[in-house]
Amino acid sequence: MMEKVAEIQDFDVIIIGAGPGGCSSALALKGLGLKVALIDKSEFPRDKVCGELMHRKAVETLNSIIPEFEQEFKKFPKTLVLKHTNVHFKGKVLAFDWQNESYTCPRLYLDNFLLETVRQQTSTAIFTGHQPNQITRDEQGITVSIKNSNKVFKGKVLIGADGAHSIVAKQFADKTLDRKHYLGAVRAYYTNITDLKPDTSEVFFNTKFQLNYVWVFPVEGNKANVGFGMLSSDISEKKINLKETFYEYFKHSPELAERFKNAEPVSTLEGFGVPLGSSIGTTSGDRFMLIGDAASLSNPLSGTGIGNAVLSGKLAAEQIIKCFEANDFSANFMKQYDLVLKKAIVDNLMSSYRTQRLLGKMPFMLDVVFGLGRFEKIKKYIQSMV
């Protein structure tokens, strides 16, 4: 039987992963005359288990690339605009009013909205349902083979936007799961939550659970994304069943018990993992860059990562423009991306990590934080950390 002849397609830029980060990179490369391929293993629309909170940073970044983005996104019927956050601890509430709104939009709809924006706004070649199998590189560029297919993609430079289990990070940056810097989490959608406000996100702390919290983020349809997470190292060492602990949390929080007494789950409780930005490691090298979860850019204190995924996607695209101008795709030239990433994202992640570690070692500090939280300067500092 004759072997299938490889179907080779040539591009300048290959982006693996069509989530918020990958779409941000594709959008930022539009109109530059570069041939861009955006590859994802899934067919869209597809769900991705996530907390689904989008800080202002994500929309501001996308709006800087596509000036009409924010206007269109706010009109999208699956988008909720959040203006407040209430943090609960021991019967106390610390209320934050955000000058700049944040957003929620279920990933089933958000990621498809972003991919359709790429389709409409750019000449990017989109390949969904294409799972990368092997990635190689040489002096000529990058070669990506596709599982169960004779398709082969070649390009000069690669962006790894393929999430927590990134094949690009594994093959090019030797990244492995570090449980001390990895969040294990569960999430379900609920309806009929008492006093659920569509413009207010909420978190409920309890020191019994290593200072982690249950989040309640409203989403469209009078529902909420409700979840809970812990460091994977704690889960492993203490042999914690995360789903059982999620339900146990409600028994130890009078506020949650009262708010959820009539609530009903409208989805199964699903697990997911988040590589935290408390340990970054390699983010670039010869002919490649990592963005978003592939680069471990989620906030160690809040667990949020969409905003950093989008911003890192834009920064990677800006570095690619420099690479083509200089015709230089070397690891040394890519270090410019690392430096910009550090200043724009990583330094803030390290500050958040130090705060998270302090609270973890000295839980009583949360009482202090709630006491000082009545002062506006302290509130603004807390807001800057998440």
**What single string gives the DSSP state of each residue in 341-358?**
HIIIIIHHHHHHHHHHHH
Q: Which residues of the chain have pLDDT under 50?
A: 1-2
Report the mean per-residue pLDDT for the chain.
Answer: 91
Residue 244: predicted pLDDT: 93
Residue 96: predicted pLDDT: 82
Q: Could you say which architecture CATH assigns to the domain 179-275+362-385? A: 2-Layer Sandwich (3.30)
Q: What's the CA gap between 7 and 297, in Å, rounded?
A: 35
Q: How many CB atoms lie within 10 A of CB 355?
A: 18
Domain boundaries, the chain: 7-82+103-177+277-359, 179-275+362-385
Q: Is domain 7-82+103-177+277-359 classified as CATH 3.50.50.60? A: yes
**Partners of residue 137 on adjacent β-strands:** 142
**What single string gives the DSSP state of each residue in 192-231?**
--TT--TTEEEEEE-GGGTT-EEEEEEETTTEEEEEEEEE
Residue among 313, 300, 305 at smallest CA distance from 356: 300
Q: What's the CA gap between 231 and 180, in Å, rounded?
A: 6
Peptide bond into 45 cis (omega under 30): yes
Q: What's the CA gap between 331 and 85, in Å, rounded?
A: 42
Tell me the helix, strand and coil percentages in the chain, rounded to 5.
40, 30, 35
- Residues present in the chain in total: 386
Which residue bears the tokens 């000058």? Answer: 99
What tokens appear for 184 in the block? 């294990």
Residue 128: predicted pLDDT: 98
Instruction: Estimate to the nearest angstrom the gap between the alpha carbon of 189 and the chain centroid.
Output: 19
Residue 238: predicted pLDDT: 87
Q: 376-385 and 365-372 are packed helices; what angle lies between their axes, rounded to 10 degrees?
A: 120
Which residue bears the tokens 């962006």? Answer: 159
Q: What's the CA gap between 148 and 209, in Å, rounded?
A: 44
User: Which pLDDT tens digit goes with each residue over 127-168?
Assistant: 999 999 999 999 999 999 999 999 999 999 999 999 999 999
Element (H, E) at 190: strand 182-191
Residue 59: predicted pLDDT: 95
Contact 310, 304 (CB under 8 A): no
Going from the C-alpha of 325 to that of each of 100, 241, 318, 333, the distances in angstroms are 36, 52, 11, 12
